[in-house]
A and B are shown apart, each in its own frame.
Chain A
């Protein structure tokens, strides 16, 4: 079975602090994809990043960076110099060959960035 665990339910930081959102996944598939989505209060899921299981290179996009480690089944997301606009719920998700048609989401981490 596939599972995604986001142990942090809520995180509150002050603007300009760095913050890391944790994601641990379980899958028996050799080919799978990992994702991060942002969900602002409006409700729409905003795609942030996709990584496949064969590419463990870390990625940086502006203030966002992602650390993928297969050895620990983790795919953590760091926001550097956080801003108030980063306040949202962030979801980590997984898709794999078993049940390939669906995305399996974690429960999400609510990030609040205070001015």
Chain B
């Protein structure tokens, strides 16, 4: 069974650019959640995708957008990058969209993509 994978591992962009981060969910999982972890902080929920539809969103501006594909992999897109977007971006997959972390919907995290905006 393959775990959650993310690409790229590291990325450096400049302010104003756009970036796409990718996540492959664990086999059998149809739900993907994205989190942003700034330096010295805990992860913050960006949004969740379930069967290719957005299913919940945190307090992030519209320039943070996402996609989920029929194979349940997902992309996080960030437009007009700002310096404060520098962070570790974590993807988590789960069997379903229910109560996060219940036995059925445990979120399994990938290794993250570290984004640096200069």
Contacts and interface: CB of A to CB of B under 8 A. Distances in A.
Interface of A: 4, 31, 33, 35, 37, 42-45, 47, 50, 52, 91, 93, 95-97, 99-108
B66 interface: no
Interface size class, chain B = 20 to 34
Given A44-B109, A44-B110, A103-B45, 17 more contacts: A4-B42, A33-B99, A33-B100, A43-B111, A44-B112, A45-B109, A47-B108, A95-B100, A96-B99, A101-B33, A101-B48, A101-B97, A101-B100, A105-B42, A105-B43, A107-B42, A108-B40
Contacts of B58: 102
B74 interface: no
Task: Name, among A33, A42, A103, the residue most crowded by chain B CB atoms within 10 Å (CB to CB).
Answer: A103
A50 B101 contact: yes
Contacts of A42: 111
A95 B99 contact: yes
Given A33-B102, A35-B101, A102-B56, A107 B107 contact: no
